[in-house]
A = this chain, B = another copy of it.
């Protein structure tokens, strides 16, 4: 720890002298085409080869907001239970609650195809910065520049699909300082192989979420099929049987969602003062709603749980992020760093002219955005229409509106590159529970009325009736559960939508103009300025410091690294790994009661389990939401664990990395094997994982 403190002290000196922003030892969610070779070499004596990076990339899987990896040559995929939970829920019925019972397909024939699931593997990265920035012409307004860039982006994405059949997605890095074209292979035949009981996966529940020590078997196994056969590939991660020790280097390959380490001070203030307070209040309301709903009965509890995990997870995370922003020291540090960069810019009249105004411009639009943040959330982000039916209706409506437009003129989520998943999602037979949807919609319409009751749209939607009555009528009236109707509407274009009498489609049409108006306002007056000025700040940074600091997370594949390391909390040493012994103890101590209730299987098989087997461990590897399901590998590239959480101290690292107490939390590779063998009798699966087949 001391070593780290000294380094930080030196950093501050360096900063003052050379304007290089400090980067902490194990900091960084690195681009796969720009891995931290020097740092790894210097700090860990580890040599990164192109082969290592390519293999790891092709073995890594995007779950769309989360991560996973191939762990066998037969397309076996490992991720977290909380990542696969939607699939497990969708495969559950009133009679067969897989969340409760868990699932294991003893033969491949028993593997369950997941409706609407889609996984992606990154097959290539191309730097397209010059092409995209070249679209901007002098004299363009920020909005015009954004539009010009969007056209090039859309063309590149379309071209990728046409040339390679891969899905092209242009990723904006450094707020627009850099653009990379990512090329994905999409897998849409995904089958469930194994899931433990929810009680085992989420042992400790919301209470232990974002804490450590932990004892969670937060895993689920899927298998990717192609042409009805298991997908074959050498790009999978071999299993380590040796475990990890204190100080071991681990590398993490996953899809961190977003960080705000390069945000300006005014953007952090916006999050702190406007965005997070709203999101926290909103999540709390939904959490309370779900708890209330869960009380209604077993089936309701099952349905509520499905939503509750995500809500409570986001809530805890957001509160954690906010705690960072409410920390005066952290904010002072951000301000100092920003001031240092601005000072560096202002020292050169040339730089000052080119970049000097960027920070103030961003600050100005934060203020403007605050004035319509709420309507934006309620209408365009559909916060006022909290039901799957509305999502379906809006997608159908907008798909019909956008599809006839030239690709580049469409709303981003309706570009050609995005259509296959969107359309697949629209035809997913995932179950919808009308009573639940009615209550959710009623509650969000109530919120809508409270917040925006004076707008014409809300007056129309509600009239003099109660939000709950309106919600009941809407859900009772909609026929959008019917996949044939959705298909018909997708095929019929805008005319079919306009002729459709479905009340949910009508609702989506009613709120579309105001939603688009707000979105356009946001994109043209806020986002475009943030991007243009953010790009200028990035370029100033590149000029003064190069690209030593990796870009903020963007939900795309990144490499992070760190050491397996225990830490000290409240004067107490927290060991780097936990064991099955600890798990059983924790449960016993709580009388095996919620949230420390173990499933039957764990209780019954306790005698068979080798209690010293590690179950979870931590490392300093940088991570954030989206990294869930990321494989961690050792120097040999072997699988040592799957990331499923960060401790509570890790949350403020969204804005400032630190590694004294912040840790990523993993399920241990050995713990997984132990459970599969001893508790679930899944020897064939273990053989496949260990390559013994």
The interface of chain A, by Cβ under 8 A from chain B, is 455-457, 459-461, 463-465, 494-495, 497-501, 503, 506, 509-510, 513-514, 516-518, 520-521, 524
Contact B510 A498 (CB under 8 A): no
Q: Which 5 A-B pairs have the closest CB atoms?
A: A498-B517, A463-B463, A460-B460, A495-B520, A499-B517
Contact A513 B497 (CB under 8 A): yes
What B residues does A517 contact at CB under 8 A?
495, 497-500
Of the residues B463, B509, B521, contact of A464 by C-beta under 8 Å: B463
Complex Cα distance A455/B501, Å?
8
Complex Cα distance A457/B498, Å?
12
Across the interface, name the chain B residue whose C-beta is closest to A523: B495
Return A296 CB to nearest CB of chain B, in Å: 31
Across the interface, name the chain B residue whose C-beta is closest to A507: B456
Return A371 CB to nearest CB of chain B, in Å: 12
How many monomers of this protein are in the complex?
Answer: 2
Of listed A463, A465, A521, residue having the most chain B CB within 10 A: A463
Contact A501 B460 (CB under 8 A): no
Return A322 CB to nearest CB of chain B, in Å: 31
Contact A514 B495 (CB under 8 A): no
Of the residues B460, B465, B494, contact of A510 by C-beta under 8 Å: B460
Contact B463 A506 (CB under 8 A): no
Return A454 CB to nearest CB of chain B, in Å: 10
Complex Cα distance A524/B517, Å?
30
Complex Cα distance A509/B509, Å?
9
Return A5 CB to nearest CB of chain B, in Å: 52
Across the interface, name the chain B residue whose C-beta is closest to A459: B463
A-B contacts, 16 of them at CB < 8 A, read A456-B503, A456-B506, A459-B463, A460-B460, A460-B461, A460-B463, A464-B464, A464-B465, A494-B516, A497-B517, A498-B514, A498-B516, A498-B518, A499-B517, A499-B520, A499-B521
Given A456-B501, A499-B520, 18 other A-B residues pairs in contact with their CB atoms under 8 A:
A455-B501, A456-B506, A457-B506, A459-B463, A460-B460, A460-B461, A460-B463, A464-B464, A464-B465, A494-B520, A495-B516, A495-B521, A495-B524, A497-B517, A498-B513, A498-B514, A498-B517, A498-B518
Interface SS of chain A: helix
What B residues does A463 contact at CB under 8 A?
459-460, 463-464
Complex Cα distance A509/B456, Å?
11
Of the residues B460, B498, B503, B521, contact of A520 by C-beta under 8 Å: B498
Complex Cα distance A497/B524, Å?
15
Contact B513 A509 (CB under 8 A): yes
What B residues does A506 contact at CB under 8 A?
456-457
Complex Cα distance A456/B510, Å?
10
Return A79 CB to nearest CB of chain B, in Å: 40
Return A504 CB to nearest CB of chain B, in Å: 10
What B residues does A509 contact at CB under 8 A?
513
Across the interface, name the chain B residue whose C-beta is closest to A457: B506
What B residues does A521 contact at CB under 8 A?
495, 499
Return A576 CB to nearest CB of chain B, in Å: 54
What B residues does A524 contact at CB under 8 A?
495
Of listed A461, A495, A497, A521, residue having the most chain B CB within 10 A: A495
Complex Cα distance A346/B500, Å?
41
Return A540 CB to nearest CB of chain B, in Å: 31
What B residues does A499 contact at CB under 8 A?
517-518, 520-521
